[in-house]
Amino acid sequence: MAFSLLWLTGALSVLIMLFVVGYIMIQGLPGINVEFFTTSPRGGLSGDGGIFSTIVTTFYMVVVTLAVATPLGVGAAIYLTEYSENAESIIVRKLVSAARFGVETLAGVPSIIFGLFGYALFVSALNLGFSIASASLAGACLIIPVIIRTTEEALKSVPVSYREGSLSLGATRWETVWKVVLPSAFPGISTGILLSAGRIVSETAIFFVTLGGSYRVPHSLLSGGRTMALHVYYLAMETRAFDKAMSTAAVLVALIVLMNLSINIITSRISARSR
Amino acid sequence: MTQDIRMRAEGYSLFYGDFKALNNISLDIPLNRITAFIGPSGCGKSTFLRSFNRMNDLIPGVTTEGKVFLDGRDISKEDVVDLRRKVGMVFQRPNPFPKSIFDNVAYGPRLHGVKNRSDLAVIVEKSLKAAALWEEVRDDLHKSGLAISGGQQQRLCIARAIAVEPEVILMDEPASALDPVATLKIEELMNQLKKNYTIAIVTHNMQQAARVSDYTAFLLTDENRAGNLIEFGPTRQIFTTPSDERTEDYISGRFG
């Protein structure tokens, strides 16, 4: 009885997911052709045009955000796992536990809060305007906690014996981290980074208030733009081209599926190697 | 004993926070000999061994009293990276890096500035030969260090330690995770190595201590659970005519 109930809930959730994806694909795929990818939206109420500029903007957003967030997040995680325990000063130790608490909390904050923060600081106070720069910095704030947490997990899964072996050969802590720990943790870290890239592709609210909504191809970091997810929102809410929204959504879903597949490939490589 | 001394502990104590784990230990590790540390579990013999290359420095809250010398120099004043190059270590569980056999052995030399591929190849071959592993892996140097048997992995770790040309090799129960055949190979290897290296080994296996070591130190915890050195001397003397009753009880298997 319990088993068939569990089976039913499992089957039901898979069905719902298939229904959602299937509906989007059926509605969206017919509108997709080469022209859809190579032309930019024409703007206005009609919603005519393709999604070229939104693909470019999405790409820029992912690259710039990761370029900001990856070094900061990975660096912070390395400090927290590899160095902070040996900190002698009480003040540093207090700061470290505060940082840990901060990371945990920030990872659960809704993205629109980061959006408001980004609007206040980057768009207004720093005068960066609605731009890729503002949106990437806000996006970095959103994903840094995610990168820190996944990197910490990846670093912790590297056996202590690797570190001991390296240190006993006269390696410094940094040499040990760089040559032994990071290579071993690399699959886990890249999974975290890919997950974060997925967040940037799929978030809307945070970019609504930082990226503006320009449908033109961005020409610099200070240009505004709209990501694909944002474009879906604009098409659905502000134009009559609901079919275009569905087509864009279909492309978006395909992209997310692709990213998740590559995460699966990486994680299955890890488990194959540790066997 | 009229024997050159390579390392020496003098009134050495070690604390984990307030807890005293080693109490006032003094002993000499003779040059080109094998010195064994024996004693029941928890007597501090591994902790003591790790004092000779300052691996205990890595544990937060550890403090020490007394001194440890290498060739007459206080190791607490030496650069720890230099010290660990001179005092190598082999661990209880084989811990090759997830790299090729070649890169495992070349890891230390690379750290210390050897860049040239053919120089590295010479060092790798020499070290693997010294660790009695060359014949078995010469055609598989690109293979992962994790893909060979446990006994081979431990000899790979010995080769890795030898590759930086240390003066002393510390071995922390190097055969405890291995089968009897692999254990015997490691023991034969130790006998070979002592021509060029000074070796200190921790073992819970008394037969092993009796078989391989020249000198034996017996450690035991006191009523405060701090490790004390009970007796130290030539292995034959410790095993045949121990001067302390507790040593005799332990050797004859009455506890531990």
Q: Is the residue at A201 inside a domain?
A: yes
Residue B256 maps to a domain: no
The letter for the amino acid at B61 is: G
What is the model's pLDDT at position B236? 93
User: Is A155 within the bounds of a domain?
Assistant: no
Of A86, A168, A184, the CB nearest to B89: A168
Instruction: Assign B42 a pLDDT band (cuts: 50, 70, 90).
Output: confident
Q: Nearest C-alpha of chain B: how many angstroms from A86?
A: 6
B32 pLDDT tier (thresholds 50, 70, 90): very high
Contact status of B112 with chain A (Cβ, < 8 Å): yes
Q: Which domain holds residue A56?
A: 46-147+193-274
Helix axes of B117-130 and B150-162: crossing angle, nearest 10 degrees: 120
Query: So what's the pLDDT on residue A74?
Result: 96
Q: For residues A213-232, give the mean pLDDT.
A: 89
Q: What residues of chain A have any CB closer than 8 angstroms to a CB in chain B?
A: 85-86, 159, 161-162, 164-172, 175, 179-180, 183-184, 273
Q: What is residue A139's predicted lDDT score, i.e. its pLDDT?
A: 94
* Residue at B120 is within a domain: yes
Grouping H, G, I as helix, E, B as strand and the rest as coil, residue A93 is helix
Q: By mean pLDDT, which of A83-92, A160-169, B2-11 is the weakest?
A: A83-92
Residue A270: its pLDDT value, please?
67
Which domain, by its residues, includes B204? 5-251
Chains A & B: contacts with CB separation below 8 Å: 63
Structurally, chain A folds into a number of domains equal to 1
| Contact of B97 with A180, CB cutoff 8 Å | yes
Helix, coil or strand: residue B120: helix
pLDDT of residue A2: 80
Cβ contact (<8 Å) for A162 and B60? no
Chain A residues lying within 8 Å of B95, measured CB to CB: 159, 161-162, 164-165
**Rounded to an integer, what distance in angstroms lies between the CA atom of residue B215 and that of residue B141?**
36
Residue A106 lies in a domain: yes
Would you state the structure tokens that stand for residue A197, as one six-digit string?
């890239």
* Residues B89, B55 contacting (CB under 8 angstroms): yes
- CA dihedral in degrees (B230, B231, B235, B236; nearest 10)? -120
pLDDT at A274 over 80: no
Domain count, chain B: 1
Is some CB atom of chain A closer than 8 A to the CB atom of B96?
Answer: yes
Token pair, residue B13, equals 């104590």
CA distance A114 to A143: 10
User: Which CATH number characterizes residue B120's domain?
Assistant: 3.40.50.300
Q: How far is CA A133 from CA A16, A127, A199, A222, B87, in A?
A: 38, 11, 17, 6, 52
- What the block records as the tokens of A175 is 């040499």
Closest Cα in chain A to B170 = A168
| DSSP string over A211-241 | T----SPP-STT-----HHHHHHHHHHHSS-
Residue B189 is assigned to a structural domain of this protein: yes
Mean pLDDT of A107-116: 91
For chain B positions 2-61, those within 8 Å of chain A (CB to CB) are 53, 55, 58, 60
A145-164 per-position pLDDT tens digit: 999 999 999 999 999 999 99
Mean pLDDT score, B58-68: 90
- pLDDT tier, A271 (very low <50, low <70, confident <90, very high otherwise): low
In a domain, B33, yes or no: yes
- Give residue A275's pLDDT band: very low, low, confident or very high (50, 70, 90): very low
pTM here? Answer: 0.85
**B178 domain-assigned:** yes
Which domain CATH number covers A222? 1.10.3720
B1 touches chain A (CB under 8 A): no
Non-local (6+) Cβ contacts of A208 within 8 A are: A115, A230, A233
Give the whole-angstrom CA distance, residue B241 versus residue A86.
46
SS3 state at A182: helix
In tens, the pLDDT along B80-126 reads 999 999 999 999 999 999 999 999 999 999 999 999 999 999 999 99
- Residue A16 in any domain: the answer is no
Residue A93 confidence class, pLDDT cut points 50, 70, 90: confident
Mutate to test the interface with A, among B104, B111, B160, B170 (most CBs of A within 10 A): B111
